[in-house]
Amino acid sequence: MKLSKVHCKECGGILNLDIVSHIKNQKLVCPYCQSLYIYEPKYSEIGAELEADIELIRLKEEKENIKEFWKFKKLKEDHKLGFISLLILFSIPLIGFLVMTTNYLIVHRPGQIELPISEKKLHGENYKNVELKFEDMGFENIKYEKVRDLKLGLFAHSGIFLR
């Protein structure tokens, strides 16, 4: 951004601010009518106008910086949302594959039997009767343990596996 042009109060000519010296209480001379102006904002209207222009430029730049910050933040959130979506999309088939593989391995283990908690044939029977039934099926070394939340029991010829 550029500063607005400063005009002479006497003749209306444009004052050249590039030739101002760097001395305190800088003086500015109109090239047309030779009027003398003080460039320092504390002492003159021209300096005050320039100071106001500089403040306006600073505020506009600050506003643009804030816009850029929020744009970047929103872009970052959009990327985060996309990453989470992709993660979910890839994890669902992976979990399904693992569950199917695990079920396949559990069902196809030779010499073992699955006994879910929903098994109706063994509900309400004495554990001795259940033990006899399993021995009739060919299982040996059957041991029982009290487990409150047993959902699945795997029985093998050599013992019991609890899950």
pTM: 0.32
pLDDT reported for residue 96: 84
- Residue 91 φ/ψ, nearest 5 degrees: -80, -30
Model confidence at 22: pLDDT above 70: no
CA distance 19 to 73: 43
Q: Is the pLDDT of residue 154 over 70?
A: no
pLDDT at 63: 93
Mean pLDDT of the chain: 71
pLDDT at residue 9, rounded to an integer: 79
pLDDT for the residue numbered 126: 63
Calpha distance 141→138 (Å, rounded): 10
Domain boundaries, the chain: 20-50, 111-162
State the DSSP code for 24: S
Radius of gyration of the chain (CA): 44
The percentage of residues in the chain with a pLDDT greater than 70, rounded to a whole number, is 52
Between 93 and 8, where is the model more confident?
A: 93
**CA nearest 142: which of 129, 157, 152, 163?**
157
Q: What is the pLDDT of residues 51-107, one digit of tens each?
A: 777 788 889 999 999 999 999 988 888 888 888 999 999 999 998 888 777 666 555
pLDDT at 68: 92
DSSP letter assigned to residue 41: T
Would the pLDDT of 147 be above 90?
A: no
Give the mean pLDDT of 24-38: 72
Q: Of the candidates 149, 144, 138, 137, which has an alpha carbon nearest to the alpha carbon of residue 160?
A: 144
Distance, CA of 86 to CA of 98 (rounded, Å) = 19
What is the β-pairing status of strands 159-162 and 152-156?
antiparallel
Determine the pLDDT at residue 163: 43
Instruction: Confirm if 3 and 50 have CB atoms less than 8 A apart.
Output: yes
Question: Is residue 50 within 8 Å of 6, Cβ to Cβ?
Answer: yes
* Phi–psi pair at 60, nearest 5 degrees: -65, -40
